[in-house]
Amino acid sequence: MEVADYSEKVFQEALLNALSHRDYESMASIYVKQYPGHILIENPGGFLDGITENNIITHASSPRNKLIAETLQRLKYVQRTGQGVDIIYKETVSMGKPYPIYRHYNDSVQLTIYSSTEDIDFVKFIIKEQESKQIAFSLAELMILRFVKDNRSIIFRKAVELTQVTEDEARNALNRLQHFSLLETVGNQYMLTARVYDSLKSGIEYTQDHTIQYLKAKRLIIEYLEKEENITRANIQELCGYNDNQARRTIEKLKKLDNRNQEKIQKLYQ
């Protein structure tokens, strides 16, 4: 499978955004500079009010030059105004490339897009999943999957921050990925399922990740019992971020595997 250095769709959207949002009161030009490994597009005029690097994906955008934006839409160069940035991000993630980088200055905005493909297996996996399930992942879902692939797990607050969506939208994205058996919860963290590890990583890594979670829970429980007389499943759920079934399974593991602290572990059943 071959992945182009640069997506035509990404480059087109980036250039059209520069045309629509540039400051035409400035005499400065729009620059497109190609370097080994990346393209830089710079347009005069800073971000519009309320837009920052931390909300640029989802912030409602109103073009600085409405007439130009409407003309581009009528000519079918753009689908609708204000949609360009999320298209750029979604296409970039789907192609396994580094995220685009926006840099904001007082009198200009720079966008850098990269040619390298970081993970061709991730690209193949996304294509296969979408085709087999007849679905299209949202940008938020793609960003979450990519983050978990690279970082082993994600917590809810990080998912909200990463995707720049509302809490409800982030929760829906996480629930949908669980529905398709792509993510599972371990305590308060979301991790890839064994099936995804088979495609992207290895069974050894899957076991290692879940063993790490168990060892953390075990340490927290033993430390708790050093101070308290007993502990309940409800305590374990709160302490480790587990649901009731996860707390129960952890108790069973501790009873079977922990000999040195057997007396303390028995308190779990009192």
Q: Report domain extents, the chain.
A: 8-114, 120-186, 203-269
Q: Could you tell me the pLDDT band of residue 270, with boundaries at 50, 70 and 90?
A: very low
pLDDT exceeds 90 at position 134: yes
**Both tokens of residue 208?**
């290692």
pLDDT number for residue 269: 46
pLDDT exceeds 80 at position 150: yes
pLDDT in tens, 201-221: 655 566 666 666 776 777 778
| Spatial separation of the C-alpha atoms in residues 241 and 246, rounded to whole Å | 9
pLDDT number for residue 208: 62
The helix/strand/coil state of 102 is strand
Q: Could you tell me the pLDDT band of residue 67, with boundaries at 50, 70 and 90?
A: confident
Q: Could you tell me the pLDDT band of residue 152, with boundaries at 50, 70 and 90?
A: confident
Strand segments (E) across 94-234: 101-104, 108-114, 153-155, 183-186, 189-192
**Both tokens of residue 242?**
């587990």
Q: Which helix (H) or strand (E) holds 38?
A: strand 38-44
pLDDT in tens, 13-27: 999 888 888 888 899
Cα angle 251, 253, 254 (rounded to 5 degrees) comes to 65
Sequence letter at residue 58: T
Is residue 63 within 8 Å of 82, Cβ to Cβ? yes
pLDDT number for residue 183: 94
Sequence-distant (6+) residues with CB within 8 A of 67 are none
Residue range 250-266: mean pLDDT, rounded: 61
pLDDT number for residue 199: 80
pLDDT number for residue 3: 65
pLDDT in tens, 161-188: 999 999 999 999 999 999 999 998 877 8
pLDDT number for residue 79: 61
Closest alpha carbon to 172 in 159, 181, 191, 187: 159
Phi-psi region of 45 (alpha: psi -120 to 50; beta: other; left: phi over 0): left
**Both tokens of residue 213?**
């979670």
pLDDT number for residue 216: 73
Sequence-distant (6+) residues with CB within 8 A of 194 are 203, 206
CB-neighbour burial class of residue 168 (10 A; exposed 0-12, middle 13-18, buried 19+)? exposed
Is residue 25 within 8 Å of 69, Cβ to Cβ? no
Provide, rounded to the nearest whole percent, the portion of the chain with pLDDT above 70.
86
Q: Could you tell me the pLDDT band of residue 99, with boundaries at 50, 70 and 90?
A: very high
pLDDT in tens, 36-50: 999 999 999 888 888
| Residue 254 CA to its chain's centroid (Å) | 33
| Spatial separation of the C-alpha atoms in residues 104 and 115, rounded to whole Å | 22
Closest alpha carbon to 182 in 164, 190, 165: 190
Sequence letter at residue 33: K
pLDDT, greater one: 255 or 242:
242
Q: Could you tell me the pLDDT band of residue 235, with boundaries at 50, 70 and 90?
A: confident
User: Which architecture characterizes domain 8-114 according to CATH?
Assistant: 2-Layer Sandwich (3.30)
pLDDT exceeds 50 at position 60: yes
pLDDT number for residue 196: 87
CA atoms within 13 A on the CB side of 74: 6
Q: Could you tell me the pLDDT band of residue 261, with boundaries at 50, 70 and 90?
A: low
| Spatial separation of the C-alpha atoms in residues 151 and 124, rounded to whole Å | 19
Residue range 119-143: mean pLDDT, rounded: 93
pLDDT number for residue 10: 93
